[in-house]
Structure 1
Amino acid sequence: MSIYDYTVFALYVAGMVAVAGIFYRRNKSFKDMFAAGGQSPWWVSGLSSYMTLFSAGTFVVWGGLAYKHGMVAISINMASGLAALLVGFFIASRWKALNIATPATYIELRFGRTAVHYYTWMLMLVRIIGSAVALYALSTILVPLLPGATDGNGEVSVIPIILICGLVIVAYTIIGGLWAVLMTDVLQFIVLSISVLFTVWLALGDSGGLAAFAQAVPVNFLDFTSAGYSWFFLLGWCAIHLFMLGAEWAFVQRHISVPSQRDARKGALLFGALYIISPAIWLLPAMVYRTVDPTADPEQAYILMSQAVLPLGMLGLVAAAMFSATASMVSSQINVFAGVMTDRIYCGLLRPGASDGESVWAGRVAAALLGLAIIALAMAIPYLGGAEKVVFSLMSLFISPMFAPALWGLFSRHISASAVWLTAGVAVTLGVLLKYLAAPTGMLAAIPQFDGLVQWTADNARSLDIYIGVVAPLVVLSLLEIRGRLKARAAAGWLSLQSVAVHRETDAEASAADGRLPLMIVTWSVLACAAITTLLTLVNPGVRFEMATLSLLLFITAAILGRLLAKPGLREEPTINAPQARA
Structure 2
Amino acid sequence: MCIAGLIIGFFIAPKWQKTKVITAAEFITKRLGYKTQKIYTYLFLMISIFTTGAFLYPVAKIVEVSTGIPIYTSIIFLGVMILIYTAVGGLWAVIVTDVLQFVVLTAAVLIVVPLAFDKIGGVDNFIEKAPENFFNLTNDEYTPMFMIAFGLYNLFFIAGNWAYIQRYTSVATPKDAKKVGWLFGGLYAVSPIIWMLPPMIYRILNPQLDGLADEGAYLLMCKEVLPVGMLGLMLGGMIFATSSSVNTTLNISAGVLTNDIFKHFKPNSSDQTLIKVARISTVILGVITIIVALLVPLFGGIVEVVMSLAALTGGAMFLPPLWALFSKNQTGKSVLIVTLVSLIINAFFKFISPELLGVQLDRASEMGMGVGIPIVLLSIFELYFKINPTENIQYIDYQNKMEVNSERVEDTSISENKKGIRVIGVGIAATGLLILILAIFAKTGVMLVGIMGLVVLFLGGAVILKNLK
CA contact (8 A) 2:146 2:365 kept: no
Once the two structures are TM-superposed, the CA of residue 554 in structure 1 deviates from its matched residue by: 2.2
Q: Which residue of 1 aligns with 2:245?
A: 329
Q: Which amino acid aligns with 2:382?
A: E
CA contact (8 A) 2:60 2:71 kept: yes
Q: Which amino acid aligns with 2:105?
A: L
Question: Structure 1 residues 520, 229: closer, same or farther in 2, change over 3 A?
Answer: same
Q: Matches of 2:225 and 2:121 in 1, distance apart?
A: 13
- Kindly indicate which of the two structures has a greater share of residues assigned to helix: 2
Q: Which residue of 1 aligns with 2:199?
A: 286
Q: Which residue of 2 aligns with 1:73?
A: none
Q: Matches of 1:504 and 1:493 in 2, distance apart?
A: 17
Once the two structures are TM-superposed, the CA of residue 392 in structure 1 deviates from its matched residue by: 9.7
Q: Which residue of 2 aligns with 1:319?
A: 235
Q: Matches of 1:214 and 1:332 in 2, distance apart?
A: 38
Q: Which amino acid aligns with 2:222?
A: S
Q: Matches of 2:365 and 2:391 in 1, distance apart?
A: 34
Q: Matches of 1:338 and 1:361 in 2, distance apart?
A: 11
Question: Structure 1 residues 334, 247: closer, same or farther in 2, change over 3 A?
Answer: same
Q: Which residue of 1 aligns with 2:456?
A: 554
Q: Which residue of 2 aligns with 1:479?
A: 380
Q: Which residue of 1 aligns with 2:47?
A: 126
Equivalent position to 2:209, from 296, 299, 305: 296
Q: Which amino acid aligns with 2:433?
A: A
CA contact (8 A) 2:425 2:464 kept: yes
Q: Which amino acid aligns with 2:129?
A: A
Q: Which residue of 1 aligns with 2:60?
A: 139
Once the two structures are TM-superposed, the CA of residue 194 in structure 1 deviates from its matched residue by: 1.9
Question: Structure 1 residues 377, 511: closer, same or farther in 2, change over 3 A?
Answer: closer
Q: Matches of 1:391 and 1:274 in 2, distance apart?
A: 21
5 Å matches for 1:63-462?
Answer: 80-147=1-68, 149=69, 157-297=70-210, 298-349=214-265, 351-379=266-294, 393=308, 397-439=312-354, 442-445=355-358, 454=359, 461-462=362-363
Q: Which residue of 1 aligns with 2:437?
A: 535
Q: Which residue of 2 aligns with 1:521?
A: 423
CA contact (8 A) 1:260 1:510 kept: no
CA contact (8 A) 2:311 2:369 kept: no
CA contact (8 A) 1:175 1:364 kept: yes
Q: Which amino acid aligns with 2:263?
A: C
Question: Structure 1 residues 511, 330: closer, same or farther in 2, change over 3 A?
Answer: closer
Q: Which amino acid aligns with 1:337?
A: S
Q: Which amino acid aligns with 1:317?
A: L
Once the two structures are TM-superposed, the CA of residue 114 in structure 1 deviates from its matched residue by: 2.6
Deviations, residues 133-154 of structure 1 (Å, cap 9, x unaligned)? 332332233123224x4xxxxx
Q: TM-score, normalised by structure 2?
A: 0.89
Query: Secondary structure of the equivalent of 2:20?
Result: coil
Q: Matches of 2:36 and 2:438 in 1, distance apart?
A: 54
Once the two structures are TM-superposed, the CA of residue 512 in structure 1 deviates from its matched residue by: 9.9
Q: Matches of 1:257 and 1:469 in 2, distance apart?
A: 29
Deviations, residues 267-317 of structure 1 (Å, cap 9, x unaligned)? 111111111221111111011112212222332321211111111112212
Once the two structures are TM-superposed, the CA of residue 362 in structure 1 deviates from its matched residue by: 2.0
Q: TM-score, normalised by structure 1?
A: 0.73
CA contact (8 A) 2:54 2:305 kept: no
Question: Structure 1 residues 503, 205: closer, same or farther in 2, change over 3 A?
Answer: farther
CA contact (8 A) 2:421 2:463 kept: yes
Once the two structures are TM-superposed, the CA of residue 379 in structure 1 deviates from its matched residue by: 4.5
Once the two structures are TM-superposed, the CA of residue 361 in structure 1 deviates from its matched residue by: 2.2
Count of equivalent residues:
464
Which sections of structure 1, spanning at least 5 residues, go unmatched? Answer: 1-79, 150-156, 446-453, 569-583
Q: Which residue of 1 aligns with 2:398?
A: 497
Q: Matches of 2:179 and 2:289 in 1, distance apart?
A: 33
Q: Matches of 1:512 and 1:381 in 2, distance apart?
A: 41
Q: Matches of 1:204 and 1:344 in 2, distance apart?
A: 51
CA contact (8 A) 2:314 2:371 kept: no
Which sections of structure 2, spanning at least 5 residues, go unmatched? Answer: none
Question: Structure 1 residues 130, 109: closer, same or farther in 2, change over 3 A?
Answer: same
